[in-house]
Structure 1
Amino acid sequence: MKFIIQRDKLVQSVQDVLKAVSSRTTIPILTGIKIVATEEGVTLTGSDSDISIESFIPCEEEGTENVEVQRAGSIVLQARFFSEIIKKLPMDTVEIEVQNQHVTTIRSGKSEFNLNGQDASEYPHLQQIEEQNVFRMPTDLLKNIIRQTVFAVSTSETRPILTGVNWKVENHELSCTATDSHRLAMRKAKVEAENEISCNVVIPGKSLNELNKILDDTSEPLDIVVTENQVLFKAKNILFFSRLLEGNYPDTSRLIPSESKTDITVTTKDFLQAIDRASLLAREGRNNVVKLATLEADTLEVSSNSPEVGKVVEQVQSNSIAGEELKISFSAKYMMDALKALEGNEIQINFTGAMRPFVIKTLHDDSMMQLILPVRTY
C-alpha cells in the first residue's frame, strides 16, 4: 500500500475515528486504526466493539485532490502513536507506505517515521447492515435532539437501560426520551422515510455524545438505519455504528402529569440566572437544592439555604402565575440543565403540587419537554 494524502484531511479523519478507539479493549487489534486505500480513496476505521466509526477520504472532492493512491492495500496502525505523529508532521502532505512485515513508513518533508503495523485482515469486520428501517433528518436537527435529551440519561449502571436514550419512530415522527428516574427529557421531530417504518430502540448515551462531536453543524440530510441490535448513522463520508442496549425501556408516559394546579410563565434567561445565583450557596452534591415560592403580584421567590455557608433570596418577576400558591424544592442542577436544553425566550412550568413531578416547556412549542421530580426538604 502506498499513497500521498493532504495532512489536514488525514488529521480530521483520524480525530473522528479515534473517538471509537478504546485503550481498555480485550481485543488488542482494536487499539489500532484500520487504514484501507483503494482507487476511490482512503477509509479509516476505529472501533471498541460498542461503537465503530468509519471515515472516508475520497481521492477527489469538488475539484480538489485529497489523495493520490499509488498502490492499493490495507494496514492497522497503533492509534495513539499514529494520531500523535500525523498531528506533528512538518508539511501539508503525508506519504504512507507499507513495507515488508507490515512495517509502515510515514514521510512528510524531511521527517520519516517507521511504525510496526498489523494485518488488516485480522481486524473485526463491521456488520453489513440490511437497510430496511431507514429514516432521515437534517444533521443540525439531529445534533439538537441529542443535546436536548442525552444529558438526562442515568450515569449509574444499576439500571443499564436508563444509560441510553429511547428512540421511537411511528407515523414519520421520532420521539426521543431520556430519564435517570429523577428527571426526564423528551423531544419529538418529524422524519422522512421512503416507507412506513416503526421502531423502538435504546441508544447508549455515550454513543450519542460521541456522534454529536463528529457531526458538522449543517442542514445536510443524514440517514439513520435501525436493526435489531445496531443503529447506523450515515453522514457525508462518515459511517457511525453503535450497538443498542438490550431490554425494555420503562413506560415514561405514566410519569407525565395530565393536569396542573399552578402554571407559571417566565422569561427563560432571567429565571436561569436566578437559579444559577441561588445554587452558589446550595451545597454541592446531593443537596444542591433551591426553593421556589409564588408571591403576590406575579412574583416568584427563589431561595437557597445552607447552614454552614449562608442563605440567598431573590425575587423574579414572572410573566404570569395562575392557580394555587406553591412552595416547592428541586435540584438547581437539574433545573439549569433543563432550561439550557429548551429553546425560546419564554417558558411555561406546570406544577401539580409540592411533591409531584413538574413539567417545563417552551411556550407555544410541544415538540420538547423537560420533567423534574421535586426534593423533600422537610
Structure 2
Amino acid sequence: MKLTILKDHLNEAISHVAKAISSRTTIPILTGIKIDATSGGVTLTASDTDISIQSHIEIEKEGTTIIELRQTGSVVLPAKFFMEMIRKLPSQQIEIEVKDHFQTTIRSGSSEIQLMGLDPEEFPLLPLLEESRTIRIPSDILRTMIKQTSFAVSTNETTAILTGVLWTIDNGKLKFVSCDRHRLASREVNIDLDPSQRFSNIVISGRTLNELNKVLPDHNTLIDIVIADNQVLFKIQSILFYTRILDGTYPDTSKLIQETFQTELSVNTKQLTEAIDRAYLLSREDKTNIVKLIMREDQSIEVSSTSTELGKVTEQINLNSIRGDLLRISFNSKYMLEALKVMDSENIHIGFTGAMQPIIIKPEDGADILQLILPYRTTN
C-alpha cells in the first residue's frame, strides 16, 4: 500500500473511529485501526466487539484531491500511537507506505516514522445486515432524544439490560425509555414510517449512544438506522456506526407512570433548576444529595438542604399554579437536576400521588418527554 493523504481529512476520520477502541481489550488486533486503501478511497475501521465504526475518505471532494493513491492495500496500525502521531505531524501532506510484513513508513515534511503494523486479515469482519427494516430520522431529533434519556441508564452491570435505552416503534412513533430503578426518562417522537412497522425490545447501551452522539453532525442531516436481529447500524454521511443490541428483555416500566395525581404544580423551569442547583451544593457535601421540597398555601414552594458541617440552604419559589394536597417531599437533587436540565420548556408540570410515590415531570409546551424520580423517605 502506498498513498499520500491530506492531514485534516485523515485526522477527522481517525477521531471518529477512535471512539470504538477499548483500552481494556485483551485482543491485540482490536487495539489498532484498520486502514483499507482502494480505488474508491481510504476506509478506516475500529472495533471493540460491542461498537464498530467505519469512516470513509473519498479520493476527491468538491474539486480538491484528498488522496493520491499509488498502490492499494491494507494494514492495521496501533491506534493510540497512530492517532497522536498523525495529529502532531508538521505537514498537510502525509505519505503512508506499507511494505513486507506490514512494516509501515509514515512521512510528513522532514519527519519519518516507522511502525510495525498487524495483519488486516486478523481484524474482525463487520456484520452484514439485512436492510429490510430501516428507519430514517433527522440527526437533531436523534441527538435530542439521546440527550434526554441516556443519562438515566443504570451503571450497575449486574442488570445489564438496564444499562441500555429501550427503543420501541409503534403506530409511526419512536420512543426511548431508560430506567435505573430510582428514576426513569422517556421521549417519544413521530417519524415518517409505515404505521404497520413495529419494533420492540431494541435495547442499546447508554454508553454507546453517548459515543454515537459525538459523531452525529451538528447540522440537520437525515440518518438511516438499520435494525437487524442483534445489531443496529447508523449510517451518518461517510460514517457507518454498528452497535450490538443488548441481550435480555427490558422490564415493563409503564406501571410506574401515574396518569392522575393527588397534587399538581406548574413552575418556571429555570427558577426551580437554579434553586435546586444551589441546594445540591450543600447536600453534596454530606454525600446524601437529599433536598427537601415543602409546598405552602401561598402558592409557593420552599427548597432546602442541610449539611451537618456547613449549615443550611433555604429558598422560596413562587409557583404558576398548584392544585391538590400540600406535601413535604425529599428527593435526590442530582437526579432532579439531570432531569430538569434536559427540559427545553419554559415551564414544567410536576405531578405527585403522595409523599412516597413517583414524582412525574413533564414540559408544559406539549413535547412528549417525561421524567420520573422516586422520592426518599427521611426521618422528619
| TM-score interval for Structure 1 and Structure 2 normalised by the shorter chain | over 0.9
Q: Distance in 2 between matches of 1:197 and 1:53?
A: 27
- Look up the match of 1:291: 292
Q: CA RMSD in A?
A: 1.3
Q: Distance in 1 between matches of 2:197 and 2:208?
A: 23
- Look up the match of 2:13: 13
CA deviation vs aligned residue, 1:354-375 (integer Å, no higher than 9, x gap): 0000111110324111000000
Displacement of 1:194: 6.2
Indicate yes or no: 2:12 matched with 1:28: no
Contact 2:54–2:241 (Cα < 8 Å) also in 1: yes
Which residue identity lines up with residue 45 of structure 1 in the other structure?
T
Q: Distance in 2 between matches of 1:177 and 1:285?
A: 31
How many residues matched?
378
Contact 1:135–1:194 (Cα < 8 Å) also in 2: no
SS of alignment partner, residue 277 of structure 2: helix
- Look up the match of 2:124: 124
- Look up the match of 1:224: 225
CA deviation vs aligned residue, 1:314-342 (integer Å, no higher than 9, x gap): 10111111111111100100110000111
Q: Distance in 2 between matches of 1:66 and 1:346?
A: 50
Q: Percent identity?
A: 52
Q: How does 1:214-293 map to 2 (within 5 A)?
A: 214-284=215-285, 287-293=288-294
Q: Distance in 1 between matches of 2:145 and 2:268?
A: 22
- Look up the match of 1:314: 315
Which residue identity lines up with residue 370 of structure 1 in the other structure?
Q
CA deviation vs aligned residue, 1:2-28 (integer Å, no higher than 9, x gap): 111110111111111111111221321
Which residue identity lines up with residue 173 of structure 1 in the other structure?
K
Indicate yes or no: 2:298 matched with 1:336: no
Distance 1:207 1:314, change over 3 A: same
- Look up the match of 1:84: 84
Q: How does 1:1-378 map to 2 (within 5 A)?
A: 1-193=1-193, 196-200=196-200, 201-284=202-285, 287-378=288-379
Task: Name the stretch that deviates more: 360-369 or 190-199.
Answer: 190-199
Q: Distance in 2 between matches of 1:79 and 1:283?
A: 39
SS of alignment partner, residue 36 of structure 2: strand
Contact 2:172–2:194 (Cα < 8 Å) also in 1: no
SS of alignment partner, residue 282 of structure 1: helix
Q: Distance in 2 between matches of 1:119 and 1:193?
A: 43
* TM-score normalised by L of structure 2: 0.97
CA deviation vs aligned residue, 1:69-124 (integer Å, no higher than 9, x gap): 22111110010111111000001121111112111111111111111111111111
Distance 1:299 1:215, change over 3 A: same
Distance 1:5 1:300, change over 3 A: same
SS of alignment partner, residue 341 of structure 2: helix
SS of alignment partner, residue 114 of structure 1: strand
Q: Distance in 2 between matches of 1:193 and 1:130?
A: 18
Contact 1:138–1:218 (Cα < 8 Å) also in 2: no
Displacement of 1:195: 7.9
Which residue identity lines up with residue 344 of structure 1 in the other structure?
S
Task: Name the stretch that deviates more: 55-64 or 124-133.
Answer: 55-64
Which residue identity lines up with residue 164 of structure 1 in the other structure?
G
Gaps of 5+ in 1: none
Q: Distance in 2 between matches of 1:306 and 1:205?
A: 33
CA deviation vs aligned residue, 1:164-216 (integer Å, no higher than 9, x gap): 00001112211000010100000011223468422121001111011111212
* TM-score normalised by L of structure 1: 0.97
Which residue identity lines up with residue 357 of structure 1 in the other structure?
P
Which residue identity lines up with residue 243 of structure 2 in the other structure?
S
Task: Name the stretch that deviates more: 43-52 or 53-62.
Answer: 53-62
Q: Distance in 1 between matches of 2:286 and 2:30?
A: 37
SS of alignment partner, residue 3 of structure 2: strand
SS of alignment partner, residue 359 of structure 1: strand
Q: Distance in 2 between matches of 1:263 and 1:37?
A: 61
Displacement of 1:262: 1.1
